[in-house]
Each structure stands twice: as structure tokens, then as C-alpha cells.
Structure 1
């Protein structure tokens, strides 16, 4: 009976990790939608709801600690718990990045850089995160490698977007009569766009981290961990 209880605890932990990932993905999608639609109320709601992710993280952290301290797992079970602990840390940080996107939406001064396709970059990061968690659930090592390879595509999209923003800033002709306030608002929007691209790229990095920890969990393979 104690062994059955232990296995049930492991299964519950995995289910809770997957639930946390669903919450985080939903918040990331909501942040991208608020940014696209310039929906300030949705952005405020997103920021205000950050405690949900933090609470889930703390609860799961305690689950992992209890399993380590009380069950003294070894081999595969130990890797499962340790990897899950690292994965929830990545998920919590993605939740923070979603909050950043909400704050950028509130800080936006004007429409800029129509050539920068934030939606495509955002969709790519969401898919990577979802697929990384699907690999964790299915314990699929091949999917882990595939996610790591897709990160190069995301990096290229983000690099192209950043270059476009900088190029358009350089080519922007300011009216000598523009006030200092106008120029400051322009620079703030440039900064906001660059930070948006950077944060979406970081979401992709966290997806790769999740894939790397899953590969380690399944095959005791540290190849993707960096």
C-alpha cells in the first residue's frame, strides 16, 4: 500500500505540472491577444492574476520537496522529481514574461513597426511551449530534440524583427519642431518593441529548457541542458 501511495503521489505531481503549464500557456495567449487588440483592461487583468501562477509554483515546489524528503527516490523517480522541479521554475518565469507583455501593452504610446510580425513570433513560442509540455507528458525524447532545433528558427525570427526595428528607427525623420516629449515617447516605444521581441525569445528558451529536462528525465541524457 505505501508503494501504491507513492506512485499515486508521483502521478499527481505530474498532473499538477501539466495543469500549471495549461494556466501559463493560457496567460501567454491572453497577453499576446491583449497586445494585438490593444486591450488595456485585458492587460490589467493579466497582470493582476499573476498570483495564480506564483501560488501554483509554490504548491508544486512543496510537492517536490516532500517527495524528495519523505520518499527518498532513486534512479528514474529521482530524475522525474528533479526535472519536474526545474520545469515548474521555467513555467513560473514564462508567467512573469506574460506579465511583461501585459505591461508593455499598457505602456504603448502609438502604433509602430507594422512590418514586425509579433503575432507570428508569439504563435511560434506558444507552440514550442505546448509541444515541450506534450513531450514531458508523453516522455518523448525525439520531440525534445525537435523542440531544440526549432529554437534556431525562433531566434532567426527575433533577430530579423530586432533588425527591422533598429533600421526603421534610424530611417525615421524627426521634425525639428517635435517636442522632447514626442521624441521620448518614440524612444520608449522602440524600447518596448525590442523588449517584446526579447521576452518572446526567452519564452522559446524556457521551452528548450523544459525539453532538455524532459530528455534528462527520460533517458538520463544531459545533451540539451545548457
Structure 2
């Protein structure tokens, strides 16, 4: 394959990975909106849209394999292809977490813990993914380290949110008149909220993974990979 054509393929891969990230982030935002608004139609859109992301992932995976097979890449190109492959894996998993949010919203009936600020956690994690993809697009090593530091903030936010849910549940009085159905509904809402917090924390973890692979791609530095 002519070198110019090979470079075009590398450029196309970068653009396609960035496009996939835009689709995934939109799915994540829709999942959060569905959960906040208890919007069944929006939730179904997120759930059904997961197939599109999975198909995109498979096509990009094949592109990476083809690039490795068509021409023996130099070290920098090899790191780029390997990093891109790992990044689309993280993006696909973020899309799965967005689908989880759609599933939770179908079952949620009311805000039993309105004092728990899920949106703040969500905003920070979305910004982390956006920054991670900007670092990938611009080959910016400094951004990668900043994202790793922000993850500590997300972990702390998630820990405080989970503690608030558990504390409220302990302090809440369940009267003798409460039916078994009412108790089960409360426990279901608690479970979904804790799962939402956990999933958002995982989104942050995937953003760190993306940053780690970008750092390795740019500087051959595995410092953030774990």
C-alpha cells in the first residue's frame, strides 16, 4: 500500500474514533435526561441505539486489524493503532453504561433522594470523556494527566453521594402500615440510585483509560495505564 494512502487510512481512523465518541456522549446525555425526566420514550431510544454503537465498534475494530495487516507500521503508528483500538473499547463500554441508565429510568417512579446531586457527578464525568477525546485528537499529554487528577474528584463525589443515600435510608422511618410493595419499591429506587452512581464512576474510569492510552500513544509512556 502506498505510504500516502496508508497515512490517509490512519487519519480516517482518528476521525472515525472521534465521531464514535460524539455518538457515545450523546447516548450518555440522553440516558441521563431519560433518568431525570422519567421519559420512557427517550429511554427506549437510548436502549435501542446501543446496536448502532456496537456496529460502529466492530467496524472500527476491523479497520485497526486491517491497518496492522496491510503494512507493517512504524513504532509511532503502531502505538496509535493500538491506542485507538483500546479507546473504542472504552467508548463501547461507556455506551453500555448509558444503556443501563435507560433501563433504570424505565423502572424509576419518583425521586426518593432529591438531595443527591447526580447531575453534578454526571457533568464532571462527561467533561472528563470530552477532555480525554480532545487529548486524543490533539495528542496532548498534559490533558491526560489532568484527567487522571479529576478522577479523584469524581471518586469523592460518588462516595459522598452513596453515603448520603445510605444515611437517608437508615434515618428514614418505615411505618408498620407500609405494605410489602411499598418497601420493595423503596428498595428498588435505592438500588437503582446506587447503581447510577456506580455507573457514572465507571464512566470516569473509562475516561482515565482513554487518557492513559493517549499518553502511551503520544509519549510511549505507560505511567497512567493500570
Aligned equivalent of 1:160: 160
Aligned equivalent of 1:98: 98
**Aligned-residue offset at 1:33:** 1.2
Q: What is the 5 A alignment of 1:90-129?
A: 90-129=90-129
Q: Deviations over 1:57-82 (max 9, x none)?
A: 00000000001112121310000000
Aligned equivalent of 1:15: 15
Distance 1:164 1:222 in 2: 36
**Aligned-residue offset at 1:96:** 0.1
Ranges in structure 2 where 5+ consecutive residues have no aligned partner: none
**Aligned-residue offset at 1:209:** 0.2
Aligned equivalent of 1:4: 4
Aligned equivalent of 1:142: 142
Q: Deviations over 1:86-112 (max 9, x none)?
A: 000000000000000010100113221
Question: Which secondary structure state, in structure 1, belongs to the residue aligned with residue 73 of structure 2?
Answer: coil
**Aligned-residue offset at 1:164:** 0.2
TM-score (normalizing by structure 1): 0.98
Distance 1:122 1:111 in 2: 16
Aligned equivalent of 2:179: 179
Distance 2:12 2:21 in 1: 14
Distance 1:104 1:71 in 2: 45
Aligned equivalent of 1:29: 29
2:194 equivalent to 1:194:
yes
The Cα RMSD (Å) is 0.8
Q: Which runs of 4+ in 1 moved over 4 A?
A: none
**Aligned-residue offset at 1:178:** 1.0
Distance 2:197 2:165 in 1: 10
Distance 2:150 2:161 in 1: 17
Distance 1:156 1:112 in 2: 22
Question: Which secondary structure state, in structure 2, belongs to the residue aligned with residue 178 of structure 1?
Answer: coil
Q: Deviations over 1:102-160 (max 9, x none)?
A: 10100113221111111111111110000000000000000000000000000000000
Ranges in structure 1 where 5+ consecutive residues have no aligned partner: none
Deviates further, 141-150 or 103-112 = 103-112
Distance 2:109 2:178 in 1: 15
Aligned length: 226
Aligned equivalent of 1:224: 224
Aligned equivalent of 1:210: 210
2:36 equivalent to 1:48:
no
Distance 1:18 1:157 in 2: 28
Contact 2:38 2:109 in 1 (8 A): no
Contact 2:64 2:81 in 1 (8 A): yes
